[in-house]
Structure 1
Amino acid sequence: MEAAKRERIGKAKTIDGFIKDIKSRPLVITEFDEKLWLAVIDTAMVNQDGTMTFRFKNASEITA
């Protein structure tokens, strides 16, 4: 039970740090940001028809 509590606290600190980092950035992203990519994207897949499917960390997907 204590380990689960520590894990939740650790995740909360990570999320808080990510939010603070995002708030400190300009509203428009003009260049690739590896840190942002790794924090948001779970997987990216190129489909046979040439489209790409991005799966986000929250399990939502978008195909473009």
Structure 2
Amino acid sequence: MQASTHRLQSLIFSMFVIVLCSSQVNRLIDAEVGEDRGQMLPGCVEAGWEVSTATMEL
């Protein structure tokens, strides 16, 4: 019983660390990359690339 409790606590802690690291990495990426306005796509921003919920579902 004690081993199962320890494994569960270890799993919960590991999941917490993963979520924490993931959110930190996402913040760093957002700060580095900034807003994605399609500037890396052919024709740059002037090409009229539209990013919306509807186009992301394609």
- TM bucket normalised to smaller: 0.3 to 0.5
TM-score, reference length from structure 2: 0.46
Instruction: Please state which structure has a larger fraction of its residues in helix.
Output: 2
Instruction: Please state which structure has a larger fraction of its residues in strand.
Output: 1
